[in-house]
Structure 1
Amino acid sequence: MKLEWEGIKSIKDSLLIGIYANPLHINKSSKGFKLHSAEPILEYRDFNSNESRYWRFDCIEDNQGDDIITPIVQKTPQPLQYELAEASHQNHIIMGSSFSVQNNWIKQVSGYGFKKNNKEFLSAIVLELDELYIIANAGEVVEINVTDKDPELIDDLIVTTAD
């Protein structure tokens, strides 16, 4: 496993606390929910330390028009506005729109994408929870699908925490 994918794998067995953005557009569809934002922030909490960490989804389009998504691991929800929280169950108070789910244990993480010039790039990241899938798709605006349906992705599996 490449060292660059260790940050993606480290979210496994954490709790998904929420998805934040300013603005975060949420639409109900027949398959679940679709969230859209230019730069969403995903908060997750480690079981052992109870400390929150964040993924900022960074997306670019390469010269050939392929969309690439990279989760950037951070200790704060920047660039969103936030304040430090004094509650033991919460690290930050985030100013912005939010979305959360129940049964939020992250059982598995997978990254799908493509290979180009002997390098691997991600176009989608899938979090498998107890009863749901959270699928973040690269694009000028990141689309996050929340569904109970097994995702059908066309790109190759690049990284996974599956045994």
Structure 2
Amino acid sequence: MAIDENNSGTCPVDRGLMRVGDRWSILILRDIERGLTRYDQMRTSLGIAPNILSRRLTALTDAGLIEKRRYSQRPPRDEYLLTEAGRDFLPILAAIGAWGRKYNGKGALTRQIDVETGEPVRPVVIDANTGAPLGTRPLRFEYPD
């Protein structure tokens, strides 16, 4: 998946979705964060067809969200690790999970737990300048000249 930022206009949401805008890619990033870094682990966890998993791993690697690292020469085996860009996506993933829990939270659901406090994580996206949660104040979009 070649990413052509010129076809995305000026919208950073569109540009971001070009990199991670499908269910499988987001779930792959989730699994890698959980420590499932090997192809077979992801395939089992996700129940995904091999051709789809291979394409998504290649696309995420090409987009710079994950990197492939060889862990065995014989037979050749690779694992996938988050890059800085992939780690920077984790708060977004947590926010999506919180939204899903709030609006689609029927039945038993997994939780993220803070290892140091033992408390469930309650993600909130804030404006770093004001500390205000996004969605609580009016915002406007400013377009480049």
In the superposition, the TM-score normalised over structure 2's length comes to 0.27
More helix by share: 2
More strand by share: 1
* Greater Cα radius of gyration, structure 1 or 2: 2
In the superposition, the TM-score normalised over structure 1's length comes to 0.25
